[in-house]
Chain A
Amino acid sequence: MKAFLSRRGGVAGLAVLLAMAVLALAAPLFIHPSDLSVVDATGAALAPPTPHYPLGTDQPGRSVLLLVIWGARPSLAIGVIATACTVAIGAVIGLLAGHFGGAASRVLMAVTDWFIALPQLPLAISLAAVLGQGDASITIAIAVTSWSTTARIVRAQTLAVEARPFVERAHALGAGHRQVMLRQVLPNVAPIILVSSTLTVAGAILSETTLQFLGLGNPTDVSWGAMLNQAVNQGAVTRGAWWYLLPPGVAILIVVLGFTLTGRAVEDVLNPRLGTR
């Protein structure tokens, strides 16, 4: 904990993330659904920033500031849920493959390699076609295409931990497979999973934005990717409406940077061998 606090980048990243999370969770308290409704919008179309609309308005006349704040909700939610799925699948497969070895490991790793080769965009587009556009298909597309990396990392770490004598001691005390995996290996693999998951969240949010931008999300939802999509479609570029394009982009940048900085700092703390530069 102390070691983490001494890493300024990590502290800054965590502070940004906490601020974002609080803002996203508290959004319904100060944003009324009518603020986000295309029909009830009161502002002028694509108006530049004014004191009443600090970040200007979009084509239907909604406040871009409120849209950006509201847009954090789906981005963070999908990012975190997709990462949770990724880590759960990856950790289970990696642990099983690392623990049992032999034929089971070969089969599991072959499946993992197959998923590594699976292209994300075409999969997401096909899923959207099957399940319909929306958050569910985006989450599934991200989880399905990114768990394989976690599985590889967890398997490698499991192999390293299993080679240590305390695992043999556990066997000698009468532990079965489940007990060895859960009580001996998992606690020693958990830090690696934690680090990899903070970095995965950043990737997942980027993927989510990309997929939303390509129009695979629900068109009526407000999210950063969807905002960028609408900004482009509604001619913000030709009209020079930078206040419509820039804020969602900067928001994505900040959140991704926040996760990456936090992840790096946690990695440094948990693995002193990386050295302090």
Chain B
Amino acid sequence: MGESLLSVKDLDVEYGDVPAVRGVSLTLEPGQVLGIAGESGSGKTTVGLSLLRLLPRSASVGGEILFRGENVSEMSWGRLRAARWAGASVVFQGAMSALNPVRTIGDQIVEPIVLHERVPRAAARARAAELLESVGVPASRRSSYPHELSGGQRQRVMIAMALACKPDLVIADEPTTALDVIVQAQILALLADLVRSSRIGMIMISHDLSVLGAVCDRLAVMYEGQIVEERPAAELLAAPRHPYTKKLCAAFPRIGDQSSRLAPDRARPDAPPVLEARGVRVTFPARYGHGAARAVDDVSLEVAPGEILALIGESGCGKSTLCRSLVGLVKPGAGEIRYDGAPLKFTPRALKRHRRRVQLVLQDPAGSLNPRQTVFDAVAEGPRLHGLRDGLTQRVRDALSRAGLRPPERFLGRYPHELSGGQQQRVLIAGALALDPAVLVADEPVSSLDASVRGEILRLILDLRAQLSLAAVIVSHDLGLAWNIADRVAVMYLGRVVETGPVEDVLLRPRHPYTRSLVSVLEAPGERVPLSGEPPDPASIPAGCRFHPRCPRLAALAASDPAAAGAAGCAVRDVPVLLPLAAHLTACHLAEVS
């Protein structure tokens, strides 16, 4: 044959008069993975959809797309239908909405097989079972409905569906966004494996360079509808040439890379902690078929003035609940929150005073602003609630310019929908600063922002720390964020802190196997410590060390020396609860073993 699996020449796509893609050319050989990186609006998804003519009618497409030597834009409707799914298939992001909620996953995998290959149903069912096993979902789950599966399993089912008709090309559009880091690593490993073993070609679209770097052979970086840089992935990530690629790379730091460590490494301040949590427990009552969830189970933390503490963990580990209890939004069932050494009483008056000094910044900047309030009202909200009416305008202006919205006059009368995501987050930070707080508690402050904006917001938090000696507790699933700006880090698993200490110690020399897995996700694919199993459920916490069912260290020890593994008592003895000391501490029975 001698021709490429896919070749795109000078692809142009316009929506009305708005160009979305300009002059994009790509080629893909079988068995190769091509990554397309870019931020929202860069046109990467439009490229992916245009390959199978899945764009809306309003789009006008120019240029040439050859799939197996055949021009896609000239295919008849029947040929195109055959090419879709049997020749090339798509893995969409958001597996919950891409799967039909009222049909079993087995039926949904069988459907394209029967449709495209006209095989008997029984044969198609057998094939569906094989496919499920091959993506790591037990075949017995084929009669489950999508809502009965976890997010990772749903994404695996989507991949099985995409492979159902043995396509030559798979287009994966943000296949792991919205998944936890560990699950993400599992899915990526699966995809890489499938490509290698069945020699299909894959186009992977993502905003996350670390995801692409883990799987792709070649990487194309898109910016404003154009490809600005295209090279082998390892080369591009190691030495980006285009300034935009550099910016993008900087947003996904590699741990240990000193240039991406924005926070100066410094000794822990001697000052007494400004905000503390002592033995905090939060339990959510049982509800419809779920047992009571011990979301936070005996956690102690502290943060000193001018210190940045990162609280890291997967979704469901209790980190968001803990940060809400720090602000007094969730009342701990046991333990206490202390401010300046004095325990917080959960009375309306005490809470109000507390909330002037400890401010919360939430994950979703667009949703956290009332759509019917102007920027001025949004920032003035706090001062008004606390009766600070004198010089309100000046206070709002100061807060806005400290949050980097300069000149403030330009923003005062605007509504949230007129601002970009980064500006919205700055408005929220300004809203917090307007009360002159001592501590900022931020729940995933940059996770919904584009990569290039991420760095700006992190720098802002650092500047505020330097200027106002503001302490911050930053909650994230992303260890890279901790490496970027934190002084100390606490890693949470199933409601407990499993490892804590100065960032450089914990991230460069992780002692807990869970931390080690998290850190390895950010490393090169070969050095990963795989972690199997599903994210844990706080309603059914295992006995002994909470991590032992998924612990790779225990598994390795049990394989080499079963007696020692039994003697360690991981399955029966609870691990010690960590206190927030300056030292590097870990809660693991096997910490000394390896």
Check A183 against B360 for contact (C-beta < 8 Å): no
A114 within 8 A of B: no
Kindly supply a per-residue 1/0 record for chain B positions 321-363, scoring 1 wherever the CB is within 8 Å of any chain A CB and 0 otherwise.
0000001010000000000000000001001100110011011
Closest beta carbon of chain A to B115's beta carbon, Å: 31
Kindly state whether residue A164 has any CB partner on chain B within 8 Å. yes
CB-CB < 8 A to B348: which residues of A? 176
Residues of B in contact, count (CB < 8 Å): 26
Residue from the list A166, A183, A187 in contact with B368, Cβ < 8 A: A166
By the criterion CB–CB under 8 Å, are A188 and B431 in contact? Answer: no
**B136 at interface (Cβ–Cβ under 8 A)?**
no
* Interfacial chain A residues near B367, Cβ < 8 Å: 164-166
Give A39 to B371 CA distance when docked, in angstroms: 61
The smallest beta-carbon distance between A64 and chain B, in angstroms, is 48
Known: A174-B355, A188-B371. A169 touches B385 (CB 8 A): no
Residue B435 interfacial (CB < 8 Å): yes
Nearest residue, chain A, Cβ from B364: A165
As a 0/1 sequence over residues 166 to 184 of chain A, the CB contacts with chain B under 8 angstroms (1 = contact) are 1011111111100100011
Known: A165-B364, A176-B348. A188 touches B385 (CB 8 A): no
- Using A165-B364, A179-B385, A183-B381 as known contacts, say yes or no to A172 and B370 having CB atoms under 8 A apart: no
How many angstroms between the C-alpha atoms of A218 and B329 in the bound complex?
Answer: 56
B416: nearest chain-A partner, CB-CB: A166
Nearest A residue (CB) for B327: A172
Q: Considering the chains assembled together, what is the distance between the CA atoms of A176 and B382 in angstroms?
A: 12
B103 contacts partner chain A, Cβ-Cβ < 8 Å: no
**Is the beta-carbon distance between A173 and B355 smaller than 8 angstroms?**
yes
A173 contacts across to B, CB distance below 8 A: 355, 359, 381-382, 385, 431, 435
Query: Is B428 on the interface with A (CB-CB < 8 A)?
Result: yes
CB-CB under 8 A from A168, the residues of chain B are 329, 360, 362, 368
B386 at the A interface (CB under 8 A) = yes
Instruction: Let me know if A166 and B369 touch, CB within 8 A.
Output: yes
In the complex, per-residue mask of A152-173: 1 if CB is within 8 Å of any chain B CB, else 0: 0000000000001110111111
Chain A contact-residue range equals 10 to 19
Taking A174-B386, A183-B381 as contacts, is the C-beta distance between A169 and B329 under 8 angstroms? no
Q: A183 contacts which chain B residues (CB < 8 A)?
A: 381
Nearest CB of B to A163, in Å: 10
Measured in the bound complex, the distance between the Cα atoms of B435 and A169 in whole Å is 13
Beyond A172-B327, A174-B352, whether A188 also contacts B370 by CB under 8 A is yes
Whether the pair B356, A169 counts as a contact (CB closer than 8 A) is no
CA distance A249 to B359 in the complex (A): 61
> Cα distance A176–B328 when bound, in Å?
13
Q: Which of B371, B381, B386 has the most CB of A within 10 A?
A: B381
Q: How far is the CB of B149 from chain A (nearest CB, A)?
A: 24
* Beta-carbon contact of B362 and A169 below 8 Å: yes
Q: Is B372 an interface residue (CB 8 A)?
A: yes
* B residues near A165, Cβ cutoff 8 Å: 362-364, 367-368
Question: CB-nearest residue of chain B relative to A171?
Answer: B329
Chain B residues in 8 Å Cβ range of A187: 370, 372-373
Whether the Cβ atoms of B329 and A188 lie closer than 8 Å is no
The residue in chain B whose Cβ has the minimal distance to the Cβ of A166 is B370
Question: In the complex, A168→B381 CA distance in Å?
Answer: 13
Contacts of B381 in A (CB 8 A): 170, 173, 175, 183
**Binary flags per residue of B113-148, CB closer than 8 Å to A gives 1, else 0:** 000000000000000000000000000000000000
Interface residues of B in 406-464 (CB under 8 A from A): 428, 431, 435
Which residues of A have CB within 8 Å of B356? 174
By a CB distance below 8 angstroms, the chain B residues around A164 are 367
In the bound assembly, the distance between CA atoms of A165 and B442 in angstroms comes to 13
CA distance A166 to B379 in the complex (A): 12
When distances are taken between beta carbons in the complex, the residues of chain B under 8 Å from A179 are: 385
CB distance B355 to A172 under 8 Å?
yes
A169 and B371 CA atoms in complex are apart in Å by 13
Hey, what's the 0/1 contact readout for B370-407 against A, CB within 8 Å counting as 1? 11110000000110011000000000000000000000
CA distance A57 to B356 in the complex (A): 73
- CB neighbours (8 Å) of B369 from chain A are 166, 169
Distance of B280 from chain A, by nearest CB (Å): 17
A-B CB contact pairs (8 Å), 6 listed: A165-B368, A166-B368, A170-B385, A173-B385, A174-B356, A179-B385
* Chain A interface (Cβ < 8 Å from any Cβ of B): 164-166, 168-176, 179, 183-184, 187-188
